[in-house]
Amino acid sequence: MNYLLVGLICYLCGSIPFSYLLPRLKKVDVRNVGSGNVGGTNALRAAGPIIGVASMILDGVKSFVPILITSKIFNQNPYYVGVAAICAVLGHDFPIFLKFKGGKGVASTTGAFFALVPVSGFVFLASWLSIILWTKYVSLGSIIGMYIASLVTYFFNKDFAVLFLLLATLSTLRHADNIERLMKHSERKTDLIEIFRKRR
């Protein structure tokens, strides 16, 4: 199995648009509501907490599974693992099934964290949730959380730390509009507690 085949398989797995498919169960097209982003946060806002959380989890699983399998087959070879992780995240960001218009890679990057260095995945979730509850900015929590998790990874595996920094940077670039709105204080806030309270 060569790099091209590994990359193709992981890209196709990453391209499965769960954050688009699950909201469709409620007749919601996330491309036409809210931010228009095909990601878990928009699914959460547009289709409710159950579908939103399920979308986030499955968007993580679709990268977690192929990356973990690649890691096991190739004994954590950093080159094969790197190709697998980058292609899985690119699949989410630019899915062939949605004309290459996808999400911002946060959940799929989180899947890579858990597949390769689980503690980094938990660090990301803790950082992400803490920042969102404090500031109500999902984008800010996502960006800072990914970099914190990447830095923590340095103490466990330097090769994966570099990989995670690359993935965090890719996601940061995908958040360019959010960063601009954050600087202008016009970024949309998300009150997770209120969203789940309304559902209950």
Whole-angstrom distance, CA of residue 165 vs CA of residue 154: 10
Phi-psi group of 38: left, alpha or beta (phi > 0 → left; psi -120 to 50 → alpha; rest → beta): beta
pLDDT-above-70 percentage for the chain: 98
Residue 106 has pLDDT above 60, yes or no: yes
Mean pLDDT value across residues 95-101: 93
Cβ neighbour number for residue 158 with a 10 Å cutoff = 11
Q: Is the pTM of this model over 0.85?
A: yes
Long-range pairs for 179-185: beta carbons < 8 A, 24 or more residues apart: 179/139, 179/143, 182/137, 182/139, 182/140
CA–CA separation, 91 and 108 (whole Å): 9
Here the tokens at position 16 are 């499965």
Q: Write out pLDDT tens, residues 20-50.
A: 999 999 999 999 887 888 888 899 888 888 9
Domain around 115: 3-199
Contact predicate 109/127, CB 8 Å: no
Tens digit of pLDDT for each residue in 43-97? 988 888 899 999 999 999 999 999 999 999 998 898 999 999 999 999 999 999 9
Computed over every residue of the chain, the mean pLDDT equals 93
DSSP string, 94-119: S-GGGTT----SHHHHHHHHHHH-HH
Structure tokens at 103: 């999400």
| pLDDT greater than 70 at residue 17 | yes
For range 152-162, the mean pLDDT: 92
Tell which wins on pLDDT, 34 or 129.
129
Domain count along the chain: 1
Distance CA 17, CA 9 (A): 15
pLDDT at 3: 86
